[in-house]
């Protein structure tokens, strides 16, 4: 296996694929580069691609008013854009390159053509995507818990409010 193929074989979305399945999926990927600071996806707009990170670091955030709220940062071998290729709805967060980024992309159309070729391949790819999304849901649940605890402390504890103001002004 060539070094690039070995790197691809480590990607969570491609875990457990047979060599012919691996070749079918990876043959549909396109390479894209994004310079530091560029917006790769924008909240509310269509993306309809799965992105697989090969190099770089991205920041995922949502905007409340004029304030960006960072949800997470991602590095290889992470993926993003999974939800929009599954449900076809607009992007739920903005993704921005924190460094120069190299990704592989797979369009929604190509993804659906691939999963229609074999029920076994379909199960493997959806299983891999579900594991990724479950991991993200657990992380998000923990973040919500933390935000709730901070909010509760701010509402109920004057000392904590004063302490918190030191870091937010």
**CA–CA dist 76, 84 (Å, integer):** 20
Report pLDDT digits (tens) over 79-107.
899 888 888 888 889 999 999 999 999 99
What predicted TM-score, i.e. pTM, was given to this entire model? 0.81
Q: In this structure, how many other beta carbons lie within 10 angstroms of the beta carbon of residue 87?
A: 10
Please report the domains of the chain, with CATH numbers, ordered by start residue: 3-168 (2.60.120.10)
Report pLDDT digits (tens) over 112-163.
999 999 999 999 999 999 998 898 889 888 888 887 888 777 778 787 777 7
Q: Which two tokens stand for residue 61?
A: 């955030």
The DSSP line for 45-87 is S---EEEEEEES-EEEEEEETTEEEEEEEE-TT-EE-HHHHHH
Report pLDDT digits (tens) over 35-83.
999 999 999 888 789 999 999 999 999 998 888 989 899 999 888 998 8
């Amino acid at each position: 296996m060539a070094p690039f193929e070995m790197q691809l074989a480590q990607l969570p979305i491609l875990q457990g694929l047979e060599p012919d399945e691996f070749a079918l999926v990876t043959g549909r990927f396109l390479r894209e580069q994004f310079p530091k600071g560029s917006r790769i996806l924008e909240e509310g707009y269509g993306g309809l691609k799965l992105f697989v990170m090969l190099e770089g670091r991205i920041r995922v955030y949502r905007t409340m008013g004029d304030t960006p709220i960072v949800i997470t940062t991602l590095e290889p071998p992470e993926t993003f854009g999974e939800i929009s290729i599954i449900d076809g709805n607009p992007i739920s967060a903005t993704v921005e390159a924190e460094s120069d980024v190299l990704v592989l992309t797979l369009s929604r159309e190509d993804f659906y053509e691939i999963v229609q070729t074999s029920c076994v391949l379909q199960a493997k790819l959806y299983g891999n995507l579900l594991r990724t999304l479950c991991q993200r849901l657990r992380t998000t649940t923990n973040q919500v818990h933390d935000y709730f605890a901070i909010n509760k402390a701010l509402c109920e504890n004057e000392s904590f409010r004063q302490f918190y103001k030191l870091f937010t002004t």
